[in-house]
Structure 1
Amino acid sequence: MDFSISEEQKALRDRIIKFAQQELNEDVVTRDREQIFSRELWQKCAEFGIQGLPADKTYGGSGVDALTCAMGLEAFGYGCRDGGLVFSICAHILACIAPISKHGTEEQKQRYLPGLCDGRLIGMHAITEPGAGSDPFSMQTRAERDGNGWRINGTKAFVSNGPIGDLAIVFAMTDLQKGFHGGATAFIIEKGTPGFSHGKRFEKLGLHTAQVSELVLDNVYVPKNAVLGTVGGSTSIFATAMDWERIVLVASHVGTMERLLETSVAYARKRSQFGQAIGKFQAISHKIADMKVQLEAARLLAYCAAWRLDHARTAALDAAITKLFVSESLVGSALDTVQIHGGYGFMAEYEVERALRDAVGSTIYSGTSEMQRNIIARWLGLG
C-alpha cells in the first residue's frame, strides 16, 4: 500500500490553504452573525479554481482525480473559517458538478460546466421534500410528459444554495408504478424557467452564510433535453451525488478538525490555571490526544474512500462508513474545543462556538448518521 502524496498534491494543498487564509476569513464573524452569503468570495474561489477541481479541463475545470479533489477540499476546510462558504461550494461541486460531469450529455456539459466552474453559475441539488427526507420513496414531485417535454409540479425542501442558485438538478417521479428505483428522473432546471422559484428561506443553527430554501415547481415545463441521464434513471444520479458528498464533502471536515486541534493545542499551552498551563492536566491533554486520534483515522478513511471513487465498482459502503465516522468525529472535536476553552469557548469572539454550531449539521445533511448505520447494516446482510 502506497500512502505517499505527490508533490503536485502537496503543492495544491499549500496553495489552497494560503489562498483561503489570506482571502476568505476577513469579517467572518460579522458575515455569520448577519447571515451574509458573499458572491464576491464565491467568485474569488472560482477564479482560484476551487469550484472546477473535479471537472474536465475541456469544460474549464482542473480535471483532478477524486483523491486529489478530497485533498484540495480538506485544505479548503482547514484554511477557510467560514464554514457556510465551504459547505455551499462543496454542495455545488459534489452534488451538481460531479453528477453532470458523469451523467450529462455532451451538450449539457458544454452548456453548464464552464459556468459552474468559473463562478458565473451556482448549482443546486433538489431531492428532499417536506414529507420525503430519508425516504425518497415518498417523493411527491411529479413530472408528466407534455408534448416533446415534461411538465413538473412539486416542492423541494432544504435545498443548499436555493435562494441564490442558477440551476438545479431536480428529482421527480415519472412512473409511480415503478417507484423511486426506475420511476424517478433527474432534470436540470435553470433559474428563470416559468413556474420555477425559491420558496421559504430557512433559518439554521449553524452554517449561517450558506443559503438554504425551498424550491417550488409550479407547472414548470422543460424540454426533453433537460433530462439528466435517462428517464427513470435517477438512482445512479443520486448515488453519484451522495457518494461524492459523503466522501469528498467530509474531507473538508477533516481540514476543519485539524484546525480545531491546532487551536486547542495552542490554547492549552498558553492558558494557565492553578499555576500551570492547562495542557499539563490530563483532563485537557487526553481530550486533545483523542482529537488527534480521531483526526488521523478520519483522514485515512476519507482518503481511502476517495481513492475508491475512481478505482472501485462501487464506493457506497465506504461512503457510508466515512460519512458516519468523520461527521460524528467533527462534532466531537468541536465540542471538545469549546470545552477546552471553557467560558471563552462559549463566546463568539473566540470563534470556536461557531465551529460547533456548524459541525452539528454534518450528522444530518447528505444522509443522517442513522441512515449511514442502516446502509452499513444492509451491506452486512442485516437489513
Structure 2
Amino acid sequence: MAVRLLCYEVADLCLGKPPLRSLSASATVADALAALKSSDDNYISVWSCDHSSKRNNNNNNNQECLCVGKLCMVDIICYLCRDENLMSPSLALNSPLSVLLSNVKALVRHVEPSSSLLEAIDLILQGAQNLVVPIKSNITINSKRKQLQKSSSITPTIHNGQEFCWLTQEDVIRFLLSSIGLFSPIPTLSIDALGIITHEFAFVDYHSPASSAIGLISRALTDQTSVAVVDEGGILIGEISPFTLSCCDETVGPAIMTLSAGDLMAYIDCGGPPEDMVRVVEERLKERNLEGMLEELYNVNSNSSSEDEELLSPTTTLSRPGRYSRSTSSSARMVRRAEAIVCHPWSSLVAVMIQAIAHRLNYVWVIEEDCSLVGIVTFANMLEVFRENLECMV
C-alpha cells in the first residue's frame, strides 16, 4: 500500500504554498536587513538573473534566473560580529550580499514540479535545505510590476513570467506524517533502536563567552540545528538557536560580543532583553571601546524602521533593542525561546516527528532521565529512515 507514495511529485507537496519573495544578488547587506524586517518570513531568497534581450529570445528563459542562496537575520548578526566589522557596522552593512552567501554549495536546488518524492528526499539528504520549484502564477505581469515599483529591495520572485516557491525539510516530513500509518511498524520504534541519534553536536558551556559560539551558530544555521548550552556536568540548560536569533534584530550583536552564553539565553528570551542586561551590555562595550557599535546599530535600526514603514505589515512593530516582532504566524513555539525542546532515547519516531513539527524546528535534543545531553535528532536523520523504506518499494 505504501507504494502509492512513490507516485507523488514535488508539485503535490507545493499545493497552496505562496510565491517566494526575492532579493537580487547585486543588493547590499543593508538591503537584506530591510527586506527581512519587512517580511513575515525568516528567510529571503537571493537570485541572480540575466534578462538581456538576446538571452530572453531563446527557449530556456528561466535558466538565466537562478536562486543562488537564502539569507536570514542570523547571517547578518554573525557577519556584524566579525572583528573587522565591530568598529563600523554601518560600513559593513554597505557590503555586497556576496559576503553573506554561504560557501556551502547546494543549500538551495532548483527542481521541476514533476520531480518525484524520492528525488526530493535524495536532494535533501545530499545537503539541500530548500528546493526551488516553479509554480503557476495567478497574477498578471502588470500587477506584479506595480508591486515591484512599490518595493525596491524585496520583490516577488517573478522571472520571465514565472513564479517560484520552495520546499523545505519540514514540508516533506509533514507530508510523510500524513501517511505515517503506511510505514508501520517503523514509526512506533524508538529513535535509539532506529539508530538515528547524532552524538556529535555543537555545545557551549553556560559560563563561556557567547562570542565563542559565533562559529558554532553559523555552522548550526547551515546544518539546521542549534547550539546546546550545558553545565560542567553535561546537563542541558538551554540552547542558542538560529531559530530564536532569526527573530531578533541586528542589535543583538553587541550582546553576543559581551555576555556569557547563559546570559545571552536570557537576553534573547521571549519579551525582549531585561533592562538591567541592556545596561550591562552597554557598560561592557564601553570597557572595550566599542560603544560606537551599539549607537551605530540603533541608528541603523531607527532609519530602517522609518524608511520601510510602508512595507511593514499592520502587525509588524519594532520593539526594545535586541528584538523585533512580526506576525506570530511564522512561529508556533509555545515555550520560552531559549528553552530547548527535548526527547529521550526511548521516544518513538512518530512522537519526535510531531514534537519537532509542533515547534517548527528541524531537530529535537535527546537527553537521559538526569537531563544529561545524549545527542540530537534531525529531520535529515528521520528522512534517512523513510528513504530506506521507500527504496524497498522501488
TM-score (norm 1): 0.26
Instruction: State the structure with bigger RCO (CA 8 A, min sep 6), 1 or 2.
Output: 2
Higher helix share: 1
How high is the TM-score relative to the length of structure 2?
0.25
